[in-house]
């Protein structure tokens, strides 16, 4: 069965409490509930995971190798620093939709660089929590095109 892996990186476990003026007041648990409800509507399997550790995110990306999984990835600040996560995505050859709650291009200069964008199929940013279900729609379309 087609599967969408929703991966959230560092500090995103604090959503709802962390800088709500930037990231909104929706918690990660609420976002994950929305993703599970949306997956039911789409008829696709979904798994939601969050880690503050780069290596753990990389291990989970590796697990998608040779599967029918697409990844929705909010890598948090690793977006702007992690060549290792970029390489992991390139290694597994699975489609990734990069996601950010905030519009990273309207923010500090250091957030304008994304290593994830270099290997992602596409990117959604600036639409808050709604971006996750939009990214799932895009991910499913890509999985369908693979068949």
Active site residues: 23, 100
Find out whether 87 is annotated in a ligand binding site: yes
Please give the DSSP secondary-structure letter assigned to residue 6. E
How many residues of this chain bind ligand DQA (CB under 6 A)?
10
Binding pattern to ligand DQA, positions 106-145, x when CB under 6 A?
-----x----------------------------------
How far is the C-alpha of 89 from the C-alpha of 105, rounded, in Å? 22
Question: What is 70-132 written as a DSSP string?
Answer: EEEEE-GGGGGT-HHHHHHHHHHT--EEEEESS-GGGS-GGGS--TTTTT-SEEEESSTTHHH
Find out whether 130 is annotated in a ligand binding site: no
Any contact of residue 102 with ligand DQA (CB under 6 A)?
yes
DSSP-based three-state secondary structure for 4 = strand
Residue in 4, 31, 96, 104 binding ligand DQA, rule: CB under 6 A: 104
Site residues (CB under 6 A) for ligand DQA?
A: 11, 74, 76-77, 79, 100-102, 104, 111
């Amino acid at each position: 069965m087609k599967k969408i892996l929703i991966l959230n990186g560092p500090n995103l476990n604090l959503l709802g409490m962390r800088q709500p003026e930037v990231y909104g007041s929706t918690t990660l648990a609420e976002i994950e509930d929305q993703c599970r409800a949306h997956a039911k509507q789409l008829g696709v399997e979904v798994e939601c995971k969050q880690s503050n550790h780069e290596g753990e995110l990389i291990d989970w990306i590796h697990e998608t190798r040779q599967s029918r999984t697409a990844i929705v990835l909010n890598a948090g600040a690793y977006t702007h620093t992690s060549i290792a996560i970029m390489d992991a995505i390139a290694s597994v050859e699975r489609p990734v939709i990069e996601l950010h709650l905030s519009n990273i291009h309207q923010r500090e200069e250091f957030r304008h660089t994304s290593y994830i964008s270099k290997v992602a199929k596409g990117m959604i940013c600036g639409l808050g929590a709604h971006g996750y279900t939009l990214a799932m729609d895009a991910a499913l379309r890509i999985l369908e095109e693979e068949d």
